Amino acid sequence: MKNLKKRELIKNIAIVFLVIMLILTFFSNTIMNRTLPEVSTQSVSSGPVTTQVRGEGVVEAEDPYNLVIDETRKVKSVPVRVGDHVNEGDIIYYLAGETSEELTTAKNELENLKGEYELTILESGLTQAEVASVEAGVRNNTGTILSTLEAKDNEINSLKSQQEEKEKKLAEIEHQLSLIDPSNSTSVDYSAEEKAVENAQTALDSAKSILDSLNEAKAQAVQVAQAKSEALNNYNEAKDNFYGTSSKKGAKTAFDEAEADYETKKADYANKYNDYQSKVADYNSKKAAYNTAENDCINNPGDASLIPIRDAAKTAMNDAETATNTAKTAMDSALAAKDSSESNYNTAKKNKDDAEAALNTAKTAMDEANALSASAPSDEQIANAQADVNAKQAALNQANTNLSNKKNSASSSQSKNNQNYTNLKNQEYEMSVAINDLKSKIEKLEAARADYLSTEKTKMSLESKYQDILKKEKDIKDLEAKALGGEIKSPVSGEITSLAYAGGEKIEAGSTAAVIQIDGKGYKLSFPVSAKQAKAVKVGDPVSVENSWYYGDLNANLVAIQPDKTNSRDGKVLVFSLTGESVTAGQNLTLSVGEKSSNYDLIVPNAALHEDNTGHFVLIVDTKSTPFGSRYIAKRVDVTVLAQDDKVTAIDAELFGYEYVITNSSKYIENKDQVKLAD
């Protein structure tokens, strides 16, 4: 009995121990499972692997024509739509208004420039001849101006050096006078003689001033003569350009001929247009008659008499259609001839206006140069003025001699000291007069230099403003010559792939108003790939189009493999050329390029493939059974890559083909790590 109780106790203790172990094992597995990395798996399979590279892209025009508009205009209406085919000359936009904002702005700017130019002329003080010379392009260049200023500066500096020398001598004379006591000298009245010397000096200064003015006017006359000669040459050349010569047709004659030709072509186009409209109306009438006869036949199938009427109506309709097409061809030819003649007319008008403006400018310059040349002083006037200066100089010399003689005839008893004093005073007076004469000359030369420089600056400023006016006038003529008028026409034949504006919107100058795929030009498509994918293909590899049955005759060719500018590290871009009538810009196509598929025994997802410094490998799930359930261990298996596409990889490895490979993990795992399976 005692042994039985002992066995029961041992049995109970064992049961309690096992229960405790089971509880501990359960909780340890639960806690451990929560910390294990969770993995997704996929079974190893067999089947085909395609090494083709597949991608999607948007069809683009390979060489589209961008219709760029140089004017700011408002769109009135758009008679075409994206996808329409247009011929060269067909209207794409109808425009509101007659002129562009650029032309209106340019005309306003021209008026402002002319106003500024005229105000500058009034403020400049230039003569009409000088203004005409500026407009004719006759002006001293910078080198000539600098040389003239240098010559004037040298002359002024020379006179200033003479003035400094005389001022030094005057200071020495005044110093000597300060050492002499003139109190004992006999008083002699020299006022009359001194007054005579002063009057003679004044008369000499006046005569020299007149002579300087005449010499300056003569120097200007030389420049005017040069301007006159150049103005005459410019006038004769402009006259020949405008009226023409025996060997050359003038701009006026060319304009008259172009104007007459344009009027003829315009009238011919109007006749052809009216004839075409008449033919269209006739065709519509015949077509209506045919439709009526056809309906009569359909509604009255038993009436055989209606068939000849229907056939006659059809013949008349076909004849009218042929006549309409012929009239349209004639109208299109007349329109092309009119447009060409209009272009010639605009060019001839511009040349005529330019030649006429040049002729008027040259004539004005020549007339004003002639007028200024006529007012120049003669050589006789200058010679008379020089003679008057010589006479006044002789009178001054005589007055000085008289003064000296009177001083010399003073009392012989005058002391030697007083004689020296008198001589020094005479020298002081003569030196002062010479210094004042030099100062007067220097002031006149400096004033003349300043006037010369101011005049040349004014001429340069005026010439710049005048050139701005000429440039603006040329800009306006260019804008007028290439003005769009009331419509924008297609310069090429092709399909419209883009329209940037709708009715009521404003076209900005320099913008692309429409994009046209020119007839005969191809299309292209591109999409990015990885560097590894790019290595799997080469230019010339076969290309297939997904859902090719839908696109009919569409053909694609791989023409280039380029770096991907948006992924410069390892990206590439595959570029394909596309041909076929079903291809249009903006289509989304999916293309495949590369070799065909092959069958393999072992295939795994790309996500299951890994690589380290020993090579490629996969991690499979190895299952181990325990008393408390199955445990899952990650096991490394080295593999050899046989083929690969964008989804799966064909491998060679020590696998049976039913294993599960790990494709994703919540944590980083290595060989022999325990994992748990995702639900």
Q: Could you report the per-residue pLDDT of 455-478, keeping only the tens digit for each?
A: 888 888 888 888 898 888 888 887
Per residue in 563-596, pLDDT tens? 888 876 678 888 888 877 777 777 888 888 876 6
At residue 612 the predicted structure's pLDDT band, cuts being 50, 70 and 90, is very high
Instruction: Reply yes or no on whether the pLDDT at 379 is more than 90.
Output: no
Instruction: Reply yes or no on whether the pLDDT at 105 is more than 90.
Output: no
In this structure, are 440 and 497 located in the same domain? no
At residue 412 the predicted structure's pLDDT band, cuts being 50, 70 and 90, is very low
For 193, the enclosing helix (H) or strand (E) is helix 191-243
In this structure, are 641 and 525 located in the same domain? no
For residue 319, the Cα-to-chain-centroid distance in whole angstroms is 54
At residue 328 the predicted structure's pLDDT band, cuts being 50, 70 and 90, is confident
At residue 204 the predicted structure's pLDDT band, cuts being 50, 70 and 90, is confident
Per residue in 269-313, pLDDT tens? 889 888 888 988 898 999 898 899 889 898 888 888 888 988 898
- What one-letter code names the amino acid at 642? L
Instruction: Reply yes or no on whether the pLDDT at 660 is more than 90.
Output: yes
In this structure, are 352 and 465 located in the same domain? no
Asked which of 409, 425, 448 is the last residue of a domain, the reply is: 409
Report pTM.
0.34
**Phi, psi dihedrals of residue 509, rounded to the nearest 5°:** -60, 135
Give the rounded percent of residues in the chain with a pLDDT score beyond 70.
89
Pairwise CA distance, residues 429 & 436, whole Å: 11
DSSP state of 671: T
- The pLDDT assigned to 269 comes to 83
- 3-state percent helix, strand, coil for the chain, nearest multiple of 5: 55, 20, 20
State both tokens at 257: 């001929």
CA-to-CA dists, residue 677 to 42, 176, 287, 606, 674, angstroms: 11, 129, 79, 19, 10
Residue 609 inside a domain? The answer is yes
Q: Are 188 and 394 within 8 A, CB to CB? A: no
Compute the average pLDDT of residues 379-397.
Answer: 84
Per residue in 613-652, pLDDT tens? 999 999 999 988 876 678 899 999 999 988 877 788 999 9
In this structure, are 203 and 305 located in the same domain? yes
Residue 113 inside a domain? The answer is yes
Compute the average pLDDT of residues 127-134.
Answer: 80
Residue 164 inside a domain? The answer is yes
Choose from 123-127, 255-259, 446-450, 591-595 the range with maximum mean pLDDT: 446-450
Q: Are 530 and 570 within 8 A, CB to CB? A: yes
Per residue in 519-565, pLDDT tens? 767 788 899 888 777 777 888 788 888 776 677 677 888 888 888 88
Q: Are 585 and 61 within 8 A, CB to CB? A: yes
Neighbouring-strand partners of residue 635: 620
Per residue in 661-679, pLDDT tens? 999 998 899 998 999 988 7
Q: Are 606 and 649 within 8 A, CB to CB? A: yes
In this structure, are 294 and 236 located in the same domain? yes
In this structure, are 177 and 201 located in the same domain? no
What does pLDDT average to over the chain? 82
Contacts 24+ apart (CB under 8 A), 392-400: 392/200, 392/203, 392/204, 392/206, 392/207, 393/204, 395/200, 395/203, 395/204, 396/197, 396/200, 396/201, 396/203, 396/204, 398/200, 399/193, 399/196, 399/197, 399/199, 399/200, 400/197, 400/430
Number of domains in the chain: 5
At residue 610 the predicted structure's pLDDT band, cuts being 50, 70 and 90, is very high
Owning domain of residue 564: 54-99+492-593
Residues 6+ apart with CB under 8 A from 50: 592, 594, 596, 597, 645
- The pLDDT assigned to 550 comes to 72
For 660, the enclosing helix (H) or strand (E) is strand 660-665
In this structure, are 630 and 502 located in the same domain? no
- The pLDDT assigned to 447 comes to 92
The angle at the Cα of 411, spanning 408 to 412, to the nearest 5 degrees, equals 85
Asked which of 377, 409, 441 is the last residue of a domain, the reply is: 409
- The pLDDT assigned to 413 comes to 42
Residue 487 inside a domain? The answer is no
Choose from 191-195, 400-404, 426-430 the range with maximum mean pLDDT: 426-430
Residue 429 inside a domain? The answer is yes
User: What is the DSSP track for 102-120?
Assistant: HHHHHHHHHHHHHHHHHHH
State both tokens at 38: 């969770």
At residue 363 the predicted structure's pLDDT band, cuts being 50, 70 and 90, is confident
CA-to-CA dists, residue 499 to 71, 93, 217, 405, 511, angstroms: 17, 10, 69, 107, 12
Hey, how many other C-beta atoms are within 10 angstroms of the C-beta on 228?
A: 22
At residue 518 the predicted structure's pLDDT band, cuts being 50, 70 and 90, is confident
**Residue of higher predicted confidence among 74 and 159:** 159
- The pLDDT assigned to 595 comes to 67
For residue 126, the Cα-to-chain-centroid distance in whole angstroms is 39
Instruction: Reply yes or no on whether the pLDDT at 21 is more than 70.
Output: yes
Choose from 55-64, 257-266, 490-499, 630-639 the range with maximum mean pLDDT: 630-639
Asked which of 409, 427, 462 is the last residue of a domain, the reply is: 409
Q: Are 59 and 586 within 8 A, CB to CB? A: yes
For residue 491, the Cα-to-chain-centroid distance in whole angstroms is 22
Instruction: Reply yes or no on whether the pLDDT at 157 is more than 90.
Output: yes
Q: Strand pairing of 73-77 and 506-507?
A: antiparallel
- The pLDDT assigned to 210 comes to 87
At residue 416 the predicted structure's pLDDT band, cuts being 50, 70 and 90, is low
Pairwise CA distance, residues 584 & 85, whole Å: 12
- The pLDDT assigned to 355 comes to 77
State both tokens at 39: 């993995």
Per residue in 236-269, pLDDT tens? 777 777 777 878 877 778 788 888 888 888 888 8
Per-residue exposure over 120-155, b if at least 16 CB sit within 10 Å of its own CB, e if not:
bbeebebeebbbbbbbbebbbeeeebeebeeebeee
Residue 175 inside a domain? The answer is yes
Token pair 């399979």 is found at: 45
Residue 314 inside a domain? The answer is yes
- The pLDDT assigned to 27 comes to 56
Measured in Å, how far apart are the chain's first and last C-alpha atoms?
55
In this structure, are 88 and 158 located in the same domain? no
**How many residues in the chain?**
679
CATH of the domain at 640: 2.40.420.20
Compute the average pLDDT of residues 68-74.
Answer: 80
Q: Are 60 and 521 within 8 A, CB to CB? A: no
In this structure, are 217 and 270 located in the same domain? yes
In this structure, are 421 and 567 located in the same domain? no
Compute the average pLDDT of residues 53-82.
Answer: 82
In this structure, are 260 and 379 located in the same domain? yes
Choose from 117-121, 180-184, 535-539, 600-604 the range with maximum mean pLDDT: 600-604
Residue 355 inside a domain? The answer is yes
In this structure, are 342 and 429 located in the same domain? no
- The pLDDT assigned to 38 comes to 92
Q: Are 365 and 132 within 8 A, CB to CB? A: yes
